[in-house]
């Protein structure tokens, strides 16, 4: 079993031990922010406007192995596949129940899903990403659902799909006073840090929110410069923990916004771990350990899944810094490796087979 303990290894090992004997259920939270349509911010779609459709495509692909709302294959502009390929292949191995939670999608997916009455996030440059009342509603509805779902499994995995989410994460963390500049990852191999910082600084200026205000009311900070997915994920975690279940946050640097929101809502972090990919851990253009270590004692565990020997350019590109994470890919792959004691090469072969199915639908 190839697993990397990137932060708090002893706690990570304990989490893996309990994971091995746990019943597991997975949630994938989808949503949209108009921030993703700013040119250069996100490559999670064929063009900036297409990023608004990506979460819907990811969710439908998880269910059906294809996108049904529109005739596209979910890829970057360069044809690199959505990380949902990794997630779907891992889910088929695990054969566990999973649900999609709609936190505020631009296009409602044509699948059965849980709706927490969310909203699409505005461009954060406005300093008004969402109405405060809507943020409260998203959090409380998600928390209520989390309390129910936490009674169905020992561990709940939570992943996300929201293009532009790394930019809103940067804004949210800076609003709370954390040292986050140049530490947030990107789906691009060439992380547009300076563009993101410019966008975020404009949003923070218009938000007119002090660090003290943001820390006292992190949901207010989210309403100014956050996104619906970070709010829904935090609410879900709050509820799940109240039902005495564990949570594996399946994602990269975006998980830092969820951890920070929970911390400043005074929610305990001792039942949470982050599951991600080696591509996030080894990324020279971001620093997930540096982010999380500022916020709380949450172990980071990574799959060492490797596509360097893949016959497909689209998968090999992950080794060159593209995509790296998303749609719960790292955490879901990690759980499949832990549960079945799979090597990275065994899992890579399974994902290659899934990718062949995807490209055959062109």
Tens of each residue's pLDDT in the chain, 362 residues: 678 999 999 999 999 999 999 999 999 999 999 999 999 998 777 788 889 999 999 999 999 999 999 877 666 656 678 899 999 999 999 999 999 999 999 999 999 999 999 999 999 999 999 999 999 999 999 999 999 999 999 999 999 999 999 999 999 999 999 999 999 998 888 899 999 999 999 999 999 999 999 999 999 999 999 999 999 999 999 999 999 999 999 999 999 999 999 999 999 999 999 999 999 999 999 999 999 999 999 999 999 999 999 888 889 999 988 899 999 999 999 999 999 888 888 899 999 988 888 777 65
Instruction: Classify residue 11 as exposed, middle or buried by CB count within 10 Å of its CB (0-12, 13-18, 19+).
Output: middle
Contact in structure between 146 and 72 (CB atoms under 8 Å): no
* pTM for the full predicted model: 0.96
> Looking at the DSSP assignment, which residues form a beta bridge with residue 104?
31
Alpha helices in the chain (DSSP H): 9-20, 54-64, 84-94, 132-149, 165-175, 193-207, 211-216, 218-225, 228-242, 255-264, 278-281, 288-295, 313-316, 329-340, 344-359
Angle between helices 84-94 and 329-340 (to 10 degrees): 30
Tracing tokens 């649900």 back to the chain, one arrives at 99
Alpha carbon distances (Å) from 192 to 167, 171, 181: 10, 14, 11
Alpha carbon distances (Å) from 346 to 249, 321, 341: 24, 22, 10
Q: How many residues does the chain have?
A: 362
Copy the structure tokens of residue 360: 């055959």
Rounded to whole angstroms, the Cα distance separating 97 from 69 reads 23
Contact in structure between 339 and 26 (CB atoms under 8 Å): no
Q: What are phi and psi of 64, to 5 degrees?
A: -110, -10
Set out the domains of the chain in order of their start, with CATH numbers. Answer: 3-359 (3.40.50.10210)
Contact in structure between 25 and 18 (CB atoms under 8 Å): no
């Amino acid at each position: 079993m190839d697993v990397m303990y990137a932060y708090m290894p002893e706690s990570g090992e304990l989490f893996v031990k309990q994971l091995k004997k746990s019943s597991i259920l997975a949630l994938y939270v989808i949503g949209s922010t108009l921030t993703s349509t700013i040119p250069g911010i996100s490559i999670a779609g064929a063009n900036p406007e297409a990023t608004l459709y990506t979460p819907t495509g990811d969710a439908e692909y998880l269910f059906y192995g294809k996108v049904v709302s529109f005739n596209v294959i979910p890829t970057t502009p360069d044809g690199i596949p959505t990380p949902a390929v990794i997630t779907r292949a891992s889910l088929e191995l695990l054969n566990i129940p999973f649900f999609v939670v709609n936190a505020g999608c631009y296009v409602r997916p044509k699948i059965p899903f849980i709706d927490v009455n969310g909203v699409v996030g505005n461009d954060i440059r406005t300093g008004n990403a969402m109405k405060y009342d809507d943020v409260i509603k998203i959090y409380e509805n998600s928390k209520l659902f989390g309390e129910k779902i936490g009674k169905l499994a020992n561990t709940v995995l939570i992943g996300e799909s929201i293009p532009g989410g790394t930019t809103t994460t940067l804004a949210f963390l800076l609003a709370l006073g954390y040292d986050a500049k140049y530490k947030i990852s990107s789906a691009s191999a060439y992380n547009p840090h300076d563009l993101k910082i410019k966008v975020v600084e404009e949003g923070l200026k218009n938000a007119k929110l002090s660090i003290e205000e943001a820390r006292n009311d992190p949901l207010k900070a989210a309403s100014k410069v956050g996104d619906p997915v970070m709010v829904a994920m935090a609410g879900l975690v709050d509820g799940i923990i109240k039902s005495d279940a564990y949570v594996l946050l399946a994602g990269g640097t975006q998980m830092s916004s969820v951890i920070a929101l929970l911390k400043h809502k005074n929610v305990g972090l001792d039942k949470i771990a982050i599951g991600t990919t080696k591509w996030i851990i080894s990324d020279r253009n971001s620093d997930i350990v540096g982010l999380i270590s500022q916020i709380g004692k949450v172990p980071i565990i990574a799959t060492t899944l490797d596509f360097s020997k893949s016959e497909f350019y689209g998968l090999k590109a992950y080794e060159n810094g593209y995509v790296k994470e998303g749609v719960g890919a790292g955490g879901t792959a990690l759980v499949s490796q832990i549960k079945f004691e799979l090597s990275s090469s065994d899992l890579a072969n399974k994902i290659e087979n899934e990718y062949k199915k995807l490209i055959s639908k062109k």
